[in-house]
Amino acid sequence: MALQDFDLLPLRADTAIKPFKCKDSDLNGFLLEDAQKYLENLMAVTYLLEDNANGKTVAYYSLLNDKITFDPEQRSIWNRLSRKIPNAKRRKHYPAVKIGRLAISESYSGQGLGRDILRLIKYTFTHGNRTGCRFITVDAYRDAVGFYENCGFEFISEKDRDDATRLMYFDLKPFLDAGKQ
């Protein structure tokens, strides 16, 4: 199955959320209890992937603004990241969009939908985007780190190595450049 097999729509204040259950209770709770509150308070926008034939939410993701900030304690990582930016454009902060949540329903997991959603987000922020956005960031749950690494994300810091989540980034410029070839 692919994204085009489903309906993708932004969550609205009056959206009736179809049944959804993934393996993580925090992700379930966010969609069912918090996503509309985040929208109403201009904190994040959530997008639903729906299977109308089965009356279910297949997946969802939420996006919010972010930035990557220079951390002097992580100079080697910052230098690697900054080398990707021309000297005249280098800064102490770079604009980013954060994936606040990304979840796939248990009954649809393992079908490549997460990877397809990441490709869609990458495309959205490199084609027709309304603001400058160089990076995608995510606080990846420990069990999702491998997934994000396989999708081209890198670690921003080593300070969170033992935390429940790891801050990761994806540079959109090579994605954009690859699409021009």
Query: What structural domains and CATH numbers belong to the chain?
Result: 3-179 (3.40.630.30)
For the chain, the straight-line distance linking the first and the last C-alpha, in angstroms and rounded, comes to: 27
| H or E stretch covering 148 | helix 145-150
Q: How many CB atoms lie within 10 A of CB 172?
A: 20
Q: Which of 175, 161, 67, 181 is nearest to 118 (CA)?
A: 175
Rounded Cα distance, 14 and 35, in Å: 12
Can you read off the two tokens belonging to residue 171? 């540079």
Amino acid at 176: L
- Give the pLDDT of residue 15: 96
pTM for this model (two decimals): 0.92
Q: For residue 134, how far is the Cα from the chain centroid?
A: 13
Question: What letter does residue 17 receive in the DSSP assignment?
Answer: P
| pLDDT of 181 | 53
Q: Which residue has the tokens 């810091």?
A: 157
Burial (CB < 10 A; 0-12, 13-18, 19+), residue 20, is buried
Strand-pair category, 7-10 with 56-69: unpaired
Listed as ranges, residues in the chain with pLDDT below 70 are: 180-181
**CA atoms of 149 and 159, how far apart (whole Å):** 17
Q: Do the Cβ atoms of 127 and 166 come closer than 8 Å?
A: no
Alpha helices in the chain (DSSP H): 25-29, 35-40, 75-82, 113-124, 145-150, 172-179
Tokens 């990877």 belong to residue: 115
